[in-house]
A = this chain, B = another copy of it.
Amino acid sequence: MINAKSISTDLAALRANSPLVHNITNFVVMNNTANALLAIGASPVMAHAVEEVADMAGIASALVINIGTLNPLWVEGMIKAGIAATAKGIPVIFDPVGVGATPYRNEVATQIIEKCKPTLIRGNASEIMALAKENVATKGVDSTVSANAALDAAKNLAVETGAVVVISGAEDFITDGKQVLTIKNGSPLMPKVTGMGCTASAVLGAFAAINKNTLLAAAHGMAVMSICGEIAAKKSAGPGSLQMHFIDTLYNLSDKDIADLFIA
């Protein structure tokens, strides 16, 4: 179902179509997110004002909502954009950064799921468990548990929300509540770069804009992230150089790289 060829096919379509991805994301990662989207072949736009989010979502091919540095004015923009995107029928990706860390984040995450009806939710294991109302220790925006500990929570969340749910970690899991796809590529250096998860969510937006099968689109996007992280980590002396090589690798990723490295 997912194999090196299916990944390459979506990547080629992404590069050929260069979908416009509208991001309402956090201050920490905006630069990297935009650069990752450009490098992979998409066209990023960042816009958060209530005055324009519906118009911007209206010309976009996917919307990515990320609550990393939320406040009420931004949340208002997120919800307005999400409603416009859902009405237009474009994919809405939700990245619940730090959910579980504060009551405010929990409340906003619940609101966004209810009102924006995301087609895809990506988080680390702690975040997915928090969203599924399971008891889990949180540590700010970092996960305290491994991805497979959150798999049942992810399945339940998928069934409850109708969204495809992605848990990223040493292994990544992608589920629609029934099927589970697994991506085994990656590098332990990746979580040492801030916002790699946020970048993943944005890249998933670009793939979801290209492939209407959201489960496959998400798996393809996570495979590209993980393969690029693996290639880049081999060239890197630490997280500083990983960030640079990662962007270069997204830009240069070849079908041969994918065929050589993808672990089914």
Contact = CB atoms under 8 A, between A and B. Distances in A.
Given A28-B31, A31-B195, A69 B46 contact: yes
A35 B194 contact: yes
A221 interface: no
Task: Bin chain A's interface residue count.
Answer: 35 or more
Nearest to A47: B69
A73 interface: yes
A70 B50 CA distance: 10
B104 A45 contact: no
A101 interface: yes
Given A26-B46, A49-B71, A69-B47, A239 B243 contact: no
Contacts of A247: 238-240, 243
Q: Which of A44, A60, A244, A250 has the most CB of B within 10 A?
A: A244
A30 interface: yes
A237 B246 CA distance: 11
Copy count, this protein chain: 3
A38 B194 CA distance: 7
Interface string A164-192: 00000000000000000000000000011
Given A238-B251, A240-B245, 5 more contacts: A26-B46, A28-B30, A43-B139, A60-B140, A240-B251
Interface of A: 20, 22, 26-32, 34-35, 38-39, 43-52, 55-56, 59-60, 68-73, 98, 101-105, 138-142, 191-195, 236-241, 243-252
Q: Nearest 7 pairs between A and B by C-beta?
A: A240-B247, A238-B248, A45-B140, A34-B194, A52-B104, A55-B102, A238-B251
22 contacts: A22-B140, A27-B30, A27-B46, A34-B194, A35-B240, A35-B243, A39-B192, A39-B238, A46-B68, A47-B101, A47-B102, A49-B71, A49-B72, A56-B140, A59-B138, A71-B73, A237-B248, A237-B252, A238-B248, A239-B248, A240-B245, A241-B248
